[in-house]
Structure 1
Amino acid sequence: MEKVRYSKVWNLDSVFMGGSQSEPFINHINRVETLLQELEERIRSFIPPLSTDAFDQVLHLVENIGTIRLYLTQAASFITCLLAENPKNQDASKWRGKVLKVEAFFEKELSKVKKLLVNIKEDVWEGMLETEDLQEYAYILNELRENIDGNLSEGELHLISDLMPDGYQAWGSFYNTLVSSLKVHIHLNGKEEHFSVGQAINLRADHNEEVRKKAHDALETLWTEKEELFSQIINSITGFRIQVNQRQGIRNALEEPLKKNRMKEETLNVMWKVICKYKQPFSDYLKRKAEMMGTSGMKAYNFWAPLTKSNSQITFEEASGLITEHFSQFGSELEGFVRQAFEEGWIEAENRPNKSAVPICAGFPLTGESRVFMTFSDTFLNVLTLVHELGHAFHNHAMKSVNGVNKRYPLSMAETASTFSEMIIFDAAMKKADSKEEKLFILDEKLKRSVMNFMNIHSRFLFEQRLYEERLEGIVSADRLNSLMEGSIQEAYAGSLEEPSVHSWAWTPHYYITQSPFYNFPYTFGYLFALVLYAKAKEKGKEFEKDYMNLLRDSGSMSVEDLVMKHLGEDSSLEEFWEKGMEICVADVEEFLSLTSS
């Protein structure tokens, strides 16, 4: 294995010199405001074209929008990185507030653009999109034109936009503030200890079952005490969305998230159908793991427990060599990219205090770079985290040549490259494992991911569907929310999880993300789609990398159905398409059961 010493501290100065006091960054923000003024002027002077040849105004609008998005992404990523390395950076927090206001203003202007495009006659519109200059923007322009804000007048639209930060979005912020302020009291080692919610949740992976159960019970006690408050928050967020949807003539709660993820409901339904069809193997895995832990069924607080302990320690230098070596076996583009990331200081991995606990990947489209943030503490799980974030960065790399408007891919595609990269390392680790215990450790980690995507996230999806249905009739009580959650978990896990947290609706932050409802199914889509791609890669070998790059490159400019058809020649609305990825996961279960049969 290659061992090269790379810096564990990233280089942000090559993007904007000077940190949160950066003069180049201040100039960058000023440039964004100038670009927005230019967009405002173009909108004011826009006259709907009467012929196909008069497409210049539309071309200038879309190019202006694309450039603004590049500049905003560059700014937001820089601030994200500053706050990751120091969450208490007050200057960076102020800049984040500034950029959020600029982004809100940009969204208002985009709403105006949508209405302008709707006023173009259909025959003129179709002819314009066939011109050489607008062809590459056709999907996004149609998306803008079709996703107008329903029956809302411009005044209503602006009013809602103005109210969101201090109303609707404030509920999401209040939720985050509330959770971060709570303390969990757990009696351990003969005394009562106090933990943050995050620390208490992390105890679910403790080696001691008594610690895991005490943490689980203490958290459930806390959620029970606060359930009325959390009920008020989730009812307010859901109620606001329903009212806005109804004003726009939207009756199906899935309509908005499906549009945002650029997929048809038919595709989503067949994906869940395949997952439900193959629940039994994962129930078998949970049952076997429970038996190995001395219980008849899998207790919820035991799911994250380590089955075996990996004795292999891996340094950052060893990890960089392992990743580069195994990525090279997939293709030269991926190998060259990861070498660049290590050599040019794109990775912040130093194990030091006062960093954010959340791994991230931030893309810098104007300079064609990314930055990966994590804390590396010499474990195989750290390697997986690093690989996951490098997968996101490779997706950004694949889209370097794509114009600004077509760079934004939906959440449904966001987890694809990261999961794909994990699979390369999982396979490499399995081949390298020289003991039964090491193989079980790796298989257990893989299968936890499958269960989370096929069962846990399915329970979130079912719960949110049922919440929206009942919220249409009025406030949903805390007791009823608990019942909905319990029923959703039992269905999604096919009865294979015991003593589940009926308060999952209170402590799962995804329900409180105001930017997007149903912040669940895109994860499962990305996970299973990545496995389908990985199955293809194993068939075709290194020649698949070119197809993979092209697919990632197009991920921001077409629907997921068209993407699959164009690059794989397959229909994502058919069960056999999804089963190709599912077969990999089922094979993992079979190997796990075989290794533990005695």
Structure 2
Amino acid sequence: MNKPLRQTWDLESIFPGGSSSPELKAFLESLEAEAKQLREAVQSAKVPTNLQEISPLEEILSLFEKCVAKASEAGAFVGCLAAQDQNDKKAIQLSGRVTTLYAELQSIKAKFDNLLREIDDSLWASWLTTEKAAPLQFILNESRDLAREKMNPEMESLALELAIDGYHGWGEFYDTIVSKIQIPHEENGKTELLSAGQAFNKLHNPNREVRQEMFEKWEQAWTAAEDYCADTLNHLAGFRLKLYGNRGWEDVLKEPLAINRMSRETLETMWAVIQDAKPVLVEYLNRKAKLLGLEGLAWTDVEAPIRTAVSKVTYDEAAQTIVEQFRKFSPKLADFSQMAFDKSWIEAEDRPGKRPGGFCTSFQWSNQTRIFMTFGGTSSNVSTLAHELGHAYHQYLMSGLPVLNQDYAMNVAETASTFAEMIVADALVKAAKSEEEKLALLEEKIQNSVAFFMNIHARFLFETRFYDKRKEGLLNAAEISELMEEAQKEAYCNALSSYHPHFWASKLHFYSTGVPFYNFPYTFGYMFSTGLYVRALEEGSSFADKYDALLRDTGVMTVEALAKKHLGVDLTERDFWQGAADMCIADIQQFLRMTDHLA
């Protein structure tokens, strides 16, 4: 890394010309034609009665996989365009076109899955042993079983079509709301208007006055937009609830649990272990308040560093550190990450107009990935970069597998990302050159436990209760803010002096139409990856290959089966989760010992 790394991503190698790309236009047209061909094939297909009649279904599967890969390519590209410039109106229009394509493919799949559920059980068992179907056995069984729990295919198809301008339309409207957020900030005698993404970075400034001033403006900005956000959230939830009701689903968690291929028992066991660990986290929060000279931590103090000096990290320094620490665990992971930096797969530039947050997106047709974030030089930004590279590596490992077998759920996706983040954080703590540096790095590591045990838990509590209330009717912005603050107080065990009532408005995840309950999978990923990290410490360098094998299986197993096969553990029991929690607790206990004299 001798020459400075490029901080803007290369999208031209995918489709040159951005949102006006002729190649993208032709690609979308070919995909639409293939989707039409796929629909016609499904409509003319008959339920087979013997193996000789199966071949049309196998041809449909092949074409469907091709369409899925190409839709991923188009969707990822358009998503990148919209994220890098929220004023790219053409990208927003293209987003609607791609959403229509996705809905069309979902509608076709609903009809195809209905064919699958009508196949005789003995013929089904025979087909799953054939060369074409055997590799897709898990996916085919999953699709068939789920089809039996949904409405008839005509109704499912109608719902998906209506969702384009209804459900997904509301999700896209939220993006418009965020793009209009502008927050004034004065620095070096100049006042500038910050985008939501830029302002969010200021909320993590080491200077408490800067944080508090920005938080007040942040709350004001979202208060001004609260009615728009409340309407959006109400209608997103209303659509889901109505759809679930027509499917006969009473439990609002049925779909997110199915999507994440996990049982409610596993989820409840995980939360129970976390709840039991919270008293130690409260000790940490109280100790941190004393170290900062405060009676109690405000919302913006929770993630503040205990050192007051501003410590900036350059993008190149962050890249070098990440690759070096990855190499200690896995040369394969390090080489992949170096390639991502060298090939400019990462958009990190700090500039106006970008969407807030970070993500990794997959281009399945060209077997590439792209990472989006805004790098401001904070340690949190370094963590985000490592996190997203973990996602990218996960997708890299899936190359060569059938496209349908690459569709892993969010909870195991977050496992790969948080594991990568943990490698960097733990290595830096162990390599600290002074007690002060070690304390600061340890505290940053503990922040993840606070985030996943408390912040994400607050989101889960809020969303669960919001859906319960929404069944009774629309909620206004004040009622939603009250639910949010109540959930935060419970999740943080009333340990903070102030909270963030408009968090529900500012958090993109509540408005995701791709994944309902975009919260508990994060905590699962953190806890599962911590358990994996415990195993990695026990087994040493030999674990890297086992880790890769586990990630490659994430698209074809429930999480319970995955853990049983690769780790020999039962996720519905407390033992595995307790081992992960104990590692987090050990960090906090070390922090408390190191700060005894300071407090």
Same structural fold, with TM-score higher than 0.5 when normalized by the shorter chain: yes
Show the counterpart of 2:345.
346
Cα deviation per residue 1:281-301 (whole Å; 9 max; x = unaligned)?
A: 111111111111222222223
Q: Please tell me whether the aligned partners of residues 310 and 441 of structure 1 are also in contact (alpha carbons under 8 angstroms).
A: no
**Secondary structure class of the residue paired with 2:203:** helix
Across the two proteins, how many residue pairs are aligned to each other?
597
**Secondary structure class of the residue paired with 1:306:** coil
Larger deviation, residues 223-232 vs 478-487: 223-232
The verdict on how the C-alpha distance between 1:370 and 1:175 changes in structure 2, with shifts beyond 3 A counting, is: closer
Partners of 1:27 and 1:126 lie apart in 2 by 41
The verdict on how the C-alpha distance between 1:503 and 1:352 changes in structure 2, with shifts beyond 3 A counting, is: closer
The verdict on how the C-alpha distance between 1:371 and 1:514 changes in structure 2, with shifts beyond 3 A counting, is: closer
Show the counterpart of 1:504.
503
Show the counterpart of 1:562.
561
TM-superposed CA distance for 1:238, in Å, is: 2.0
Partners of 1:186 and 1:82 lie apart in 2 by 26
**Secondary structure class of the residue paired with 2:271:** helix
**Secondary structure class of the residue paired with 1:517:** coil
RMSD over aligned CA atoms reads 3.0
Q: Please tell me whether the aligned partners of residues 3 and 318 of structure 1 are also in contact (alpha carbons under 8 angstroms).
A: no
Query: What is the 5 A alignment of 1:131-170?
Result: 131-148=130-147, 150=149, 152-170=151-169
TM-superposed CA distance for 1:311, in Å, is: 6.4
Query: What is the 5 A alignment of 1:358-373?
Result: 358-373=357-372
Show the counterpart of 1:116.
115
**Secondary structure class of the residue paired with 1:307:** coil
Show the counterpart of 1:495.
494
The verdict on how the C-alpha distance between 1:197 and 1:405 changes in structure 2, with shifts beyond 3 A counting, is: closer
Larger deviation, residues 359-368 vs 425-434: 359-368
Cα deviation per residue 1:406-460 (whole Å; 9 max; x = unaligned)?
A: 1111111121111111111112211332233322322222222211111111111
Partners of 1:267 and 1:59 lie apart in 2 by 35
TM-superposed CA distance for 1:20, in Å, is: 3.9
Partners of 1:108 and 1:89 lie apart in 2 by 29
Partners of 1:87 and 1:482 lie apart in 2 by 27
Q: Please tell me whether the aligned partners of residues 52 and 124 of structure 1 are also in contact (alpha carbons under 8 angstroms).
A: yes
Query: What is the 5 A alignment of 1:310-325?
Result: 314-325=313-324
Show the counterpart of 1:125.
124
**Secondary structure class of the residue paired with 2:361:** strand
Q: Unpaired runs of 5+ in structure 2?
A: none
Partners of 2:395 and 2:81 lie apart in 1 by 20
Q: Please tell me whether the aligned partners of residues 281 and 586 of structure 1 are also in contact (alpha carbons under 8 angstroms).
A: yes
Larger deviation, residues 450-459 vs 482-491: 482-491
Larger deviation, residues 229-238 vs 524-533: 229-238
TM-superposed CA distance for 1:309, in Å, is: 4.8
**TM-score (structure 2 length as normaliser):** 0.91
TM-superposed CA distance for 1:494, in Å, is: 1.7
Query: What is the 5 A alignment of 1:174-573?
Result: 174-182=173-181, 201-220=200-219, 230-309=229-308, 314-350=313-349, 355-573=354-572
User: For residue 569 of structure 1, what is the amino acid of its counterpart?
Assistant: G
Cα deviation per residue 1:262-321 (whole Å; 9 max; x = unaligned)?
A: 111111111101111111111111111111122222222322323215666544444443
The verdict on how the C-alpha distance between 1:30 and 1:514 changes in structure 2, with shifts beyond 3 A counting, is: closer
Larger deviation, residues 324-333 vs 398-407: 324-333
Partners of 2:584 and 2:288 lie apart in 1 by 16
TM-superposed CA distance for 1:189, in Å, is: 11
User: For residue 75 of structure 2, what is the amino acid of its counterpart?
Assistant: A
Partners of 2:100 and 2:409 lie apart in 1 by 23
User: For residue 464 of structure 1, what is the amino acid of its counterpart?
Assistant: E
The verdict on how the C-alpha distance between 1:584 and 1:194 changes in structure 2, with shifts beyond 3 A counting, is: same
**Secondary structure class of the residue paired with 2:11:** coil
1:597 matched to 2:593 = no
Q: Unpaired runs of 5+ in structure 1?
A: none
The verdict on how the C-alpha distance between 1:81 and 1:220 changes in structure 2, with shifts beyond 3 A counting, is: closer
Among all aligned residue pairs of Structure 1 and Structure 2, give the percentage whose two residues are the same amino acid: 38
Cα deviation per residue 1:187-222 (whole Å; 9 max; x = unaligned)?
A: 999999976655555443234434434444455556
Cα deviation per residue 1:508-545 (whole Å; 9 max; x = unaligned)?
A: 33222233321111111111111111111111111111
Q: Please tell me whether the aligned partners of residues 170 and 236 of structure 2 are also in contact (alpha carbons under 8 angstroms).
A: yes
Partners of 1:576 and 1:221 lie apart in 2 by 45
**TM-score (structure 1 length as normaliser):** 0.91
Partners of 2:25 and 2:181 lie apart in 1 by 37
The verdict on how the C-alpha distance between 1:205 and 1:350 changes in structure 2, with shifts beyond 3 A counting, is: closer
**Secondary structure class of the residue paired with 1:584:** helix
Cα deviation per residue 1:573-595 (whole Å; 9 max; x = unaligned)?
A: 11111122222211221121122
The verdict on how the C-alpha distance between 1:205 and 1:116 changes in structure 2, with shifts beyond 3 A counting, is: same
Partners of 1:458 and 1:366 lie apart in 2 by 36
The verdict on how the C-alpha distance between 1:293 and 1:322 changes in structure 2, with shifts beyond 3 A counting, is: closer
Q: Please tell me whether the aligned partners of residues 111 and 149 of structure 1 are also in contact (alpha carbons under 8 angstroms).
A: no
Q: Please tell me whether the aligned partners of residues 3 and 320 of structure 1 are also in contact (alpha carbons under 8 angstroms).
A: no
Q: Please tell me whether the aligned partners of residues 194 and 352 of structure 2 are also in contact (alpha carbons under 8 angstroms).
A: no
**Secondary structure class of the residue paired with 1:467:** helix
Cα deviation per residue 1:135-186 (whole Å; 9 max; x = unaligned)?
A: 1111111121122285634443343333323333333333443354356679
Q: Please tell me whether the aligned partners of residues 196 and 355 of structure 2 are also in contact (alpha carbons under 8 angstroms).
A: no
Larger deviation, residues 389-398 vs 19-28: 19-28
Partners of 2:2 and 2:357 lie apart in 1 by 27
Q: Please tell me whether the aligned partners of residues 398 and 549 of structure 1 are also in contact (alpha carbons under 8 angstroms).
A: yes
Partners of 1:97 and 1:236 lie apart in 2 by 18
Partners of 2:193 and 2:318 lie apart in 1 by 35
**Secondary structure class of the residue paired with 1:14:** coil
Cα deviation per residue 1:59-107 (whole Å; 9 max; x = unaligned)?
A: 2222222111111112222223334444444444443332222222111
Partners of 1:183 and 1:12 lie apart in 2 by 27
**Secondary structure class of the residue paired with 1:205:** coil
Q: Please tell me whether the aligned partners of residues 108 and 161 of structure 1 are also in contact (alpha carbons under 8 angstroms).
A: yes
Q: Please tell me whether the aligned partners of residues 108 and 157 of structure 2 are also in contact (alpha carbons under 8 angstroms).
A: no
The verdict on how the C-alpha distance between 1:87 and 1:237 changes in structure 2, with shifts beyond 3 A counting, is: closer
**Secondary structure class of the residue paired with 2:369:** strand
Partners of 1:161 and 1:37 lie apart in 2 by 16
The verdict on how the C-alpha distance between 1:252 and 1:17 changes in structure 2, with shifts beyond 3 A counting, is: same
The verdict on how the C-alpha distance between 1:192 and 1:380 changes in structure 2, with shifts beyond 3 A counting, is: closer
